[in-house]
Structure 1
Amino acid sequence: MKFQRARSEEQKQDRIQEILNASSIIYDTAGYEGLNFTAISEYTKFTRPNLYKYFKTKEEIILLILNQDLKSWIAKLSKSFVINKLYSIQEIGEIWTETLMEYERLIELHAILYTTIEKNVTVEALAEFEKASIENNEMISSLVRQLFPKADMENIANFIYAAFTLAFGLYPMCKLSDLQIEAIKLSGSIYTPPDFKKTYLASLYQLMYCLEHSIQIK
């Protein structure tokens, strides 16, 4: 089928979503290294030149995938709580962690967001991602404010920052490649990768306790 140029903004958005859908599938099966414009063109009706009309690099595609994944996780997390019901720190932590672990790609990509992804995009694409991040942050802040009604906005912001930083920093330590595992064995090291859920929850409970009791470092 011959490729037809998008004539309207709606058609353009449909094309972009088609690229995102294909890229998501390719990433989930082939990983970050396996995602490229050649693979996308083989999976869709887009030629490589046509892909460049929408995205300059694969990292610009990944930014949009990240944004969609984050929105999806926040929506699922929000629906997991009943409005006006009081939850214990343990209950909130379990729900938070369980839903986050369902979005492994979100954690995986955020772990390399600042060091790899954001270094290979245009300033315009990054600015749009930052705008979307502001909206996402407002949604998650609103949810945390409902769960911890006594907490002030500064403590809520610090909690969200710490909870995300913990997840995205811990993940690479827990998900080692075959090469890394083999190297550990050959070195004679007794290092054992930590269990993500157990380790994350232990620290998340502490962060939530501090948030609940307004404990902060001055």
Structure 2
Amino acid sequence: MPKGSPELTASRKEEIVNACERLYRTMSFKEITIKEIGAVTSFTRTSIYNYFQTKEEIFLALMQREYENWASEMDSIADMNETMSAGEFADSMAHSLEKHQQLLKLLAMNHYDMEENSRPERLTEFKVAYGASLDAVRACIRKFFPKIDDESFIFVFFPFLFGVYPYSVATEKQLTAMREANIGFRMHSIYEIIYSCVLQLLGGKS
């Protein structure tokens, strides 16, 4: 790690993660390289290696940030409401994840690669953020739905998130293939998929 203030280090890391996020909106995981990321930062490409050793570590940091932000939103839902119906909670959770499409995309496509090709300390930092999201959702379930087994909810809901992106976003090539294969399938929005799942896990009543 280069010498410098903690603020400078945090700022540089944030700039790198932001650059990666921008590229990922229009490029695939395989297409993005550290060279590509360096080209859209304000410092030299080789400087990136002072902060991240692999591109997978950069993507893992992006997913970590997404989990941290989502956990904060779930904490706010718990803090700002005394009670919630199943429908109200499903609506709030669906809207919160709708804003984190990048998280759902990363979960669906490159989760294993990011973890496998990151240093243990970077992986631990990520797992702390992931754990915070588990705790935030668990706290909501315990507060608003004490009769629901919060561990059973977690056990179903978090693995479910890995499949949300492919069922809500498809390329024209994929859509054409489904039409030609005569698959009677309609794409659903992230909101629709999350809302339906949460409502069912809470008993199916709004």
Q: Contact (CA 8 Å) 2:29, 2:110: kept in 1 or not?
A: no
Alpha-carbon distance in 1 for matches of 2:176, 2:29: 21
Q: Contact (CA 8 Å) 2:138, 2:150: kept in 1 or not?
A: yes
Is 1:107 matched with 2:104?
yes
Q: In structure 1, the residue corresponding to 2:183 is in which secondary structure?
A: coil
Partner of residue 76 from structure 2, selected from 79, 89, 92: 79
What is the alpha-carbon root mean square deviation over aligned residues?
Answer: 2.5
Structure 1 residues 75 and 179, CA gap change in structure 2 (3 angstroms): same
Q: Contact (CA 8 Å) 1:6, 1:15: kept in 2 or not?
A: no
Q: Contact (CA 8 Å) 2:93, 2:195: kept in 1 or not?
A: no
- Specify the alignment match of 1:158 in structure 2: 152
Partner of residue 35 from structure 1, selected from 24, 27, 32: 32
Q: CA deviation at 1:93?
A: 0.7
- Specify the alignment match of 1:119 in structure 2: 116
- Specify the alignment match of 2:20 in structure 1: 23
The alignment-based identity, stated in percent, is 27
Structure 1 residues 110 and 79, CA gap change in structure 2 (3 angstroms): same
Q: CA deviation at 1:107?
A: 1.0
Q: CA deviation at 1:159?
A: 0.8
- Specify the alignment match of 2:183 in structure 1: 190
Q: Contact (CA 8 Å) 2:78, 2:143: kept in 1 or not?
A: no
Using structure 2 for the length normalisation, give the TM-score.
0.83
Using structure 1 for the length normalisation, give the TM-score.
0.79
Moved more, 59-68 or 124-133: 124-133
Q: In structure 2, the residue corresponding to 1:45 is in which secondary structure?
A: coil
Q: Contact (CA 8 Å) 1:27, 1:35: kept in 2 or not?
A: yes
Q: Contact (CA 8 Å) 1:59, 1:121: kept in 2 or not?
A: yes
- Specify the alignment match of 2:201 in structure 1: 207
Ranges in structure 1 where 5+ consecutive residues have no aligned partner: 213-218
Q: CA deviation at 1:66?
A: 1.0
Q: CA deviation at 1:113?
A: 4.5
Q: Contact (CA 8 Å) 2:56, 2:114: kept in 1 or not?
A: yes
Q: CA deviation at 1:25?
A: 1.8
Alignment: residue pair count? 203
Structure 1 residues 193 and 110, CA gap change in structure 2 (3 angstroms): same
Larger relative contact order (CA 8 Å, sep ≥ 6): 2
Bigger CA radius of gyration: 1
Structure 1 residues 190 and 150, CA gap change in structure 2 (3 angstroms): closer
- Specify the alignment match of 1:216 in structure 2: none
